[in-house]
Structure 1
């Protein structure tokens, strides 16, 4: 079982020598890559295929993640040591719009990670703002940035905006402005429970995804399939967990049932996938902070002994 960010076969293990903002950007990219590669995910792109998508593939998702890394680094750089104010919010928004252009160029016009740019961009900025924060502190700092309005926001509504207005749900903006409750209260606790129980990391992450899906009013699902599709998504995710989760044969049967239903409805829980990537990112950052503090303690002990 993976218990630390810094393991030999993990690219994050080589981050000690990188500048902190570059390190955070690399961890954000890795979170997107690992979310995309996690298999099997009902209705979502994974190693098996495109799920309910017609314009996305694993190759496209990985290309998009790589294209976004320098923009995450830029968001971290402008946030390092900065006050969390309206000016920073505007700078991050400008970088985010450039990141969207890079995403569309990398994917030849497909929206692979628009929500993730917003979510992970805020979390990278919040983590860069002050080193050594716990996941909950990073989420709260990201929320304080998100609550400032974007004065240069385009008037054209996104699919998420349309679903948010039509159904009265928080959407990605509300999730961020409320300090990422589905990550802090559902994704991370489920991930950590399964990690503590000794399950493989893929199982831990799948069960974290189903925990998020069972609670989130996912605007990606609402936009494509309405309330009925959202109810099917939530109840299907709950059925997986109640059957024993992704490691159990009964849970895997429920996963296949949910996958068939979502593909038949042409809906994909993309909002939940973005929040799983955020969960993976915060887990990695918090573990990194613990490792740094532990190593600092060892050096202080050594200096004291000298």
Structure 2
């Protein structure tokens, strides 16, 4: 895929972002999260609602890619992206009847879509994430002066949260989720299990503000401990790891906690993974054809 203009680029990247959100939602089973089996700790959500919400955001991601196409990080661009993102949140709430399905994902994927539109196809994921971090580091002077649940948790527990993750170039995506996904594939682990392993790795190391908001520090510590135990026995493709996954799910449900932040970062990882695979392969084909 070599995009020739902003329209082509925005169409492609928005489709990829929506696909990543749907693939994350449909991944089953996921501990404490909405999937094809149940709604996890989210009694107000369904898989069908998650999919409708993701599809409704395609225009949002397309508009972000369009205005970011071949630009450089700047204060103005940061605020233009934020304005589009807030419009996207309104669309989301209208689609879901006021339920928050993808607010965190709009932030994370919006920044990555913008960054991808600024770079040439085939740019490594780490560079795209780094540029997204540069965009996120500019303040949004027009942001509503209200305290979100995520910001309350950040202040209470002193964790980086979604904002810190983005500003640092999505380290949990680049250094944890993607390497876990790639290693599992190299070991011939089925794709579904490889993606669950990537999610488990995020739960193990991320200070997930969604878990903190719903279950407090004790829930976060417990979730991390159980996730690391799954990793230590070789992941969910092993019988011990699978049993550990079921235990983690039950523990989260008991505490009414959900690793929503980890789910958002898994979607980000799936987006970057597919983007690099498709654009790098296409670029290589184009080089071969011209030699």
Q: Which of 209, 217, 227 matches 1:227?
A: 217
Cα-Cα RMSD: 1.1
Matched, 1:31 2:24: no
> What is the CA deviation profile of residues 153-204 of structure 1, one whole-angstrom value per residue up to 9, with x for unaligned ones?
1111111111001000000000000000000110000001011111211111
Aligned to 1:304: none
* Structure 2 gap segments, 5+ residues each: 2-6
Matched, 1:145 2:123: no
Name segments (4+ residues, structure 1) moved above 6 Å. Answer: none
Write out aligned runs for 1:37-52 (5 A). 37-52=26-41
Mapped contact 1:243–1:254 kept (Cα < 8 A) = no
In 2, Cα distance between the equivalents of 1:57 and 1:239? Answer: 29
Aligned to 1:10: none
SS, match of residue 57 in structure 2:
helix
Q: Which of 214, 220, 235 matches 1:245?
A: 235
> What is the CA deviation profile of residues 199-237 of structure 1, one whole-angstrom value per residue up to 9, with x for unaligned ones?
211111111111111000000011111110000111111
* Structure 1 gap segments, 5+ residues each: 1-5, 7-17, 302-306
TM-score (norm 1): 0.91
In 2, Cα distance between the equivalents of 1:129 and 1:297? Answer: 21
Offset at residue 289 of structure 1 (A): 2.1
Aligned to 1:182: 172
Matched, 1:58 2:55: no
Offset at residue 29 of structure 1 (A): 0.3
Write out aligned runs for 1:106-255 (5 A). 106-132=95-121, 133-255=123-245
TM-score (norm 2): 0.96
Aligned to 2:10: 21
> What is the CA deviation profile of residues 21-71 of structure 1, one whole-angstrom value per residue up to 9, with x for unaligned ones?
111110100000000000000000000010011111101100100000110
